[in-house]
Each structure stands twice: as C-alpha cells, then as structure tokens.
Structure 1
C-alpha cells in the first residue's frame, strides 16, 4: 500500500499490531526485531519527501508524529484524552503523551495524578526518563513504547522530553479536583525548562486562576530529587523544582 505524505521520510511496520507508523525524520535504526514482526522501511522516495510505500499486506498507516498536541490540534486532531505519539524535535526521539483539546488549543498532558497508584518518590534518572502508565498516572512524558523504542538509539522521555516540548509552546495549565469534586485551575502564561546541563532549571511566570499561586515560588530553580539535590527538601518530598 502506498500513500502520499510530504512530511514522511521513514516508516515502521508492525505486523503484530497491523499498523504502520510514518515519521517526519529518519529513525536511528539498531537491529530489526524479526521475532516481533517489526519491519523498518526507509526508501529513497521518502528521503526525497515524495511518498512512503508499505507492504501490500493490508497494513494500515498512521499519521506522522506531531511535534506536540498543539501541532496535532492545528492539523485537525480533536480526540481529547487520546494517547498520541509526538516528536518534539526532528532530531530527537518519539514520546507518548495524552492530548487534551479545547475549542482553540491542544494541550500536552505532561503529568497526571489520579489515585496514588504510582509512586512519585523516585530518583533522578527516573524523572529524566519519565515513568508511570500512559493510561493512568505518569510523569513527565513517556518514551514511545518498547516496540518502537527498540529502533531509536538516543533520547529519553521525562524531563528531557519536557525540555524539548517547552522550547516552542510555553503555556501551562494545572487542573486540580478536590475530594468534594470541586475543580480549581492554575494557569501560567510562561513555563519552560532549561536543558540537562542546568538540571532542567524552571522558568515560571504569569499566573491566573482560582487555585492560588503556589508554583511561581519555584521559579528559577533546578529540578531536584532525593539522590540529586542541593537541599534536604527532596529527601522529604518527591522530585520537583524546590525552593
């Protein structure tokens, strides 16, 4: 099956899932997992950004990865609450995140807490990589699944993914629900983090909302965990930008 897509330069066919993933940049291939039915496809036509061709076996094709959920919104996606595969930077890896859409924007869910089933008292490496369950609680964003992840040598999810995600779109909405079912919001017009060389230092400004502003206090702080810290706070609390 062939399809025209000028953003597609490579594809990954997964016969177990009967689907094909199209990507807007070349995957950094390690070894094909033949036992898992994975086939990596990269054609001259794709590299010329003309079209991508897939096996004539009925495999269906998914759209190329979006940069973030705002990019997905601008390209017509409206399936709020669904899991999307994103590539925040063309030279970086794939990540998974839940997208929420309203009437004017797409929001990438970078952390979700629901019922306390996931332990957030984690070490530095786990926060850098990302952890949790994509359909449950997770932080911050997750790598794009083991079957696809096998084909990508570099990059992570987690804080590293947050760095790439916030280089372009820098608004943050925090939604909270109280035990009595009442909702509160904290919105920030500016939120982004620096790269790993500065421990993902936070930049937070422009609060509006009805939840109270308890986040701006942590502006211009490095991310800390119990095993990567400059104070005693992350020993007592979970990983965060702590002041």
Structure 2
C-alpha cells in the first residue's frame, strides 16, 4: 500500500509539470500570466486530491491489516481451544463447531457435553433436557448426583458435574420452555450457583431474573437438592424426582424433573424443557446480536466483542 501511494503521487506530479510546459509554449506574456494563475489553482486542487487519496489509502491499508490480524487471531484461538476449555470448561467457543457434542476436561475427569448455539446464541452447555418420555426422571439421589440419560435425547448432566462446571467462574442460567401448542417462553438468571456435595448441592444464588415466564425458580433459592432414594430410606422422601425443595415441598412448583415438568402451572403439560448454563465473560450477559465492528476498530476490541457474543 505505501508503494501504491508513492506511485500515484509521482504520476500526478508529472501530469502537473507537463501541463505547465504546454502552457509556456503556447503564447504571449498575458497568456502566460493567465495560465500561471490557473496553474496555481490547479496545483492546489491536485494537492488536496493527493492528500485525500493518501488518507483513503492509509485507511484501506489499516483495514486490510486488521482483517488479516483478526483472521490470524481466530486461527490461534481455534488451535488453543482444548486448553481454553480447561480454563473455561463450559464455554462453547464460537469457532464454527460450537454446536454439538464436545469433550470437557474437569478437575478429575473428562465428560461429554452438548453445546447449544441456536436457542439463545452461542456459548451454552445443556445441563438438563426433556424432549420425550423415553428417559425416566424418577431416580435415586445417587443417580441425580452422577447424571443419567442420553445426550442426544433426554438427560440430566449430574450434580457433581454441574458443581464442577459452575465452580470455575460466574455463570448464567437459561431455561427454555415449550408447550404442547408450540408456545415458547424462557427464564434467565445471571448468577447461578450451587453448593458442593457436602452442603447437599444447595441452590446458593440465582442473581437477577429476566424472561417471558414467571420467576419460578426463586422459591427454590436456599433449598437443598433432594430426591427420594428407595434403597437408603433416608429422610429425603418428599419427592420422587430430584429438585431444589425442602421437606415442606417449597420450591416444587418449578420442578422440571417432576413426572410432568412444571413451571408455576404454565403450561400444564410441556412439549419440551431445557436448562443451559454459560460463563459470564467480562460480566456480559446479553444474548442479542452485537453490532458489526466499525471501520478501523482496534483488533483487541473486535476480539473482545467476538468473545462477548
């Protein structure tokens, strides 16, 4: 690009000189003075055009360099994806492979997870899904701790795995609900936290709520995750499906693991339910489309915006 700018400037200067020589050869002193005045105006105009051209060339050169750097950055991030997943294990990176099954390394094991890029844009990992009755959610507490079901169908990720994922950093929770009449609603919380196994996976935090259905999970805040365990006959006998409730059944109104999933009576019967988590990068929690980067925008700003989704 700098070479192109130099060539353009030289050609314009040569054209200007040639025009001046032709004017000198054509005539009288009066003609020369007139030509001299016109030449000054013409020279000023040319200089202005040259400056504008140099400016445009500089902008184009910068845009090309930024695009090239951005593409190189994406390639580097894709190459480092396995290591980044160890640091941010629930972050389903938007590298063209964010949807589908991925292996995630936890502190003590590797697990398979499903990344979702369609429901609320990129970056979500599904922790619970019910799309038919093929998988029974009437399980013991041990089964709820370890997880059950089929990742391609209905499943629960397991409380031990969920705690390991959430303990890395702050996460948001997205709950997608679909009625039998294909109506859809959602609930979203920006600080989803649970306690460890010794504290019975208590629901510690939800953060702020937003959505198109009721704030159904709020009644479960501060409750332990319990399920009826027929083999141990413990005091955990209040429900046959695991959820964050107490012995008085407070919180059961949002039990998506119940025999018939429920969310404060809307709807009475669900066609499908889905719970997803996503780490909050730079305290961002917006799922709306981002603006396109402006021309000449700093490369690190573009990468930051790309990560925010």
So what's the TM-score if we normalise by structure 2? Answer: 0.47
Residue number in structure 1 paired with 2:244: 241
Call closer, same or farther: CA 1:169–1:108 in 2, change over 3 Å: farther
Which structure 2 residues correspond to residues 1-150 of structure 1 after superposition, within 5 A?
64=82, 66-67=85-86, 70-73=90-93, 76-88=94-106, 91-101=107-117, 105-140=122-157
User: 4+ residue runs of structure 1 moved beyond 2 angstroms?
Assistant: 63-72, 76-81, 101-105, 228-233
Post-superposition offset of 1:114: 0.1
Residue number in structure 2 paired with 1:224: 226
Post-superposition offset of 1:134: 1.0
Post-superposition offset of 1:214: 1.1
The structure with the larger Rg is 2
SS of corresponding position for 2:180: coil
Q: Quick check: which one's helix share is greater?
A: 2
Equivalenced residues, count: 160
Which segment is superposed worse, 162-171 or 102-111? 102-111
Structure 1 distance, partners of 2:236, 2:92, is: 40
SS of corresponding position for 2:116: strand
SS of corresponding position for 2:163: helix
2:211 to 209, 212, 216: 209
Q: Quick check: which one's strand share is greater?
A: 1
Contact 2:92 2:122 in 1 (8 A): no
SS of corresponding position for 2:216: coil
Contact 2:91 2:124 in 1 (8 A): no
Post-superposition offset of 1:71: 2.9
SS of corresponding position for 2:95: coil
Residue number in structure 2 paired with 1:191: 192
Post-superposition offset of 1:101: 2.5
Post-superposition offset of 1:80: 4.8
Residue number in structure 2 paired with 1:45: none
Contiguous gaps of at least 5 residues in structure 2: 1-80, 251-309
Contact 2:89 2:105 in 1 (8 A): no
Task: Tell me the alpha carbon deviations over residues 9-66 of structure 1, each in whole angstroms, 9 at most, x when there is no partner.
Answer: xxxxxxxxxxxxxxxxxxxxxxxxxxxxxxxxxxxxxxxxxxxxxxxxxxxxxx6372
Post-superposition offset of 1:72: 3.3
Call closer, same or farther: CA 1:226–1:70 in 2, change over 3 Å: closer
Structure 2 distance, partners of 1:87, 1:99, is: 15
Call closer, same or farther: CA 1:94–1:176 in 2, change over 3 Å: same
So what's the TM-score if we normalise by structure 1? Answer: 0.59
